[in-house]
Amino acid sequence: MPGVVLIVDDEPISRNTIEAILEGEGYTIEMAENGQQALEKAHSLLPDVILLDVMMPGMSGYEVCRQIRDDNQLAEISIVMVTALDDRDSLLQGLEVGADEFLTKPFDRHELRARLRGITRLNRFRNLKNERARTRQALKDLSTANDDTLKGWALALELRDKETEGHSQRVVELTVHLARALGLSEEDIVTLRRGALLHDIGKIGIPDAILHKPGALNDEEWAIMKEHPDHARNMLQSISYLQSAMDIPYSHHERWNGSGYPRGLKGEEIPLPARLFAIVDAWDALTSDRPYREAWSPAKTSQYLLQQSGILFDPKIVAVFLKLYGGK
């Protein structure tokens, strides 16, 4: 769509001449007879282009142009100054106050049309570019807000389960580092980060008496505890931006030999994010103090991962993980 053109000129003949030249070009034409009216219409219409006469009684075109450029709401409107003056000083003064183009009366109708077409094309490109930038920023802001919400959920779970305080943030860092070492894309890593943050979110559905029990769980209690991946899936599956992050909360207790839960998946049936995270989760759990045991050393934990490589854990990922952390 060509857009809105505001013609500003104190002489009716000049306004009508320009309107006649632009007839059939598809523009919406608006008129202003003086500088004050031009400013008022600029605010109400936000035109794409202003064709602005220089020599007007009261407020000159130069002053109108200056005020438009000083107004944040109007500053980006394209201004073509139109005048009977044909000298270098007038041209320089027009450019200094912010005019984009300068046409001298009498002007060629073909030149005027061509200038306006060029300006409106540039405006459309600039508007599209600005809109894309705004969209990108809005998506970035939304992503940041969403991730802040996830961090809040993870913190709420840790406040409920003091035993694992700090666990979520540590496993997120380990997961990202390991994912990069495995060559995963940054897009995949964003999803992994979210899944790692929420890996135990399903424990919100586990009763305190079971979650905080100091001793071993009996068979009935253990069956209830093993429901937390299903709770996670039920919580997250209706949240569209988290569906791609579901693999870790739902499947990180699956085991390479098929002995895990909730589905008893085996080998590469287990989603890659869950296979990766299972190793990270085990490492952090074993190298952290618990009420029922002291933290294992990195060497002892590395030995455990090696022993369980190909049994509980994906052997290829274990090898990469131990290259990163096994000697620490």
- The number of beta carbons lying within 10 Å of the beta carbon of residue 238 is 8
Q: Are strands 4-8 and 28-32 parallel, antiparallel or unpaired?
A: parallel
Residue 144 lies inside a defined structural domain of this protein:
no
Whether 101 and 200 map to the same domain: the answer is no
Residues 93 and 197 in one domain: no
Asked if residue 61 is part of any domain, the answer here is yes
68 belongs to a structural domain:
yes
Please check whether residues 197 and 110 belong to one and the same domain.
no
107 and 245 in a common domain = no
Clarify whether residues 93 and 173 are in a common domain: no
Shared domain for 189 and 70, answered yes or no, is: no
For residue 212, what pLDDT is reported? 78
Mean pLDDT value across residues 34-55: 91
CATH code: domain of residue 168: 1.10.3210.10
Q: Do 178 and 68 share a structural domain? A: no
Residues 177 and 80 in one domain: no
pLDDT of res. 299: 92
Show the DSSP H helices in the chain as ranges. Answer: 12-22, 35-45, 61-69, 88-96, 109-160, 167-181, 186-197, 208-211, 219-225, 228-236, 247-251, 272-286, 298-308, 315-325
CA-closest candidate to residue 49, choices 7, 91, 104, 98: 7
Q: Is residue 42 part of a domain?
A: yes
Answer whether residue 142 shows pLDDT above 60: no
- pTM (predicted TM-score): 0.56
Q: Are residues 113 and 175 in the same domain?
A: no
Check residue 291 and give its pLDDT. 65
Residues 217 and 313 placed together within one structural domain of the fold: yes
The band of 154, judged by pLDDT with boundaries at 50, 70 and 90, is low
Domain of 201 in residue numbering reads as: 161-325
- Three-state DSSP state, 187: helix
How many structural domains comprise the chain?
A: 2
66-113: pLDDT as tens digits? 999 999 888 888 888 887 776 677 778 878 888 888 887 777 778 888
pLDDT at 36 over 90: yes
Domain-located, residue 141: no
Q: Are residues 167 and 106 in the same domain?
A: no
Q: Quick one: angle between helices 186-197 and 272-286, nearest 10?
A: 50
Residues 177, 87 within the same domain: no
CATH number of the domain to which 45 belongs: 3.40.50.2300
Q: Which has more pLDDT, 56 or 312?
A: 312
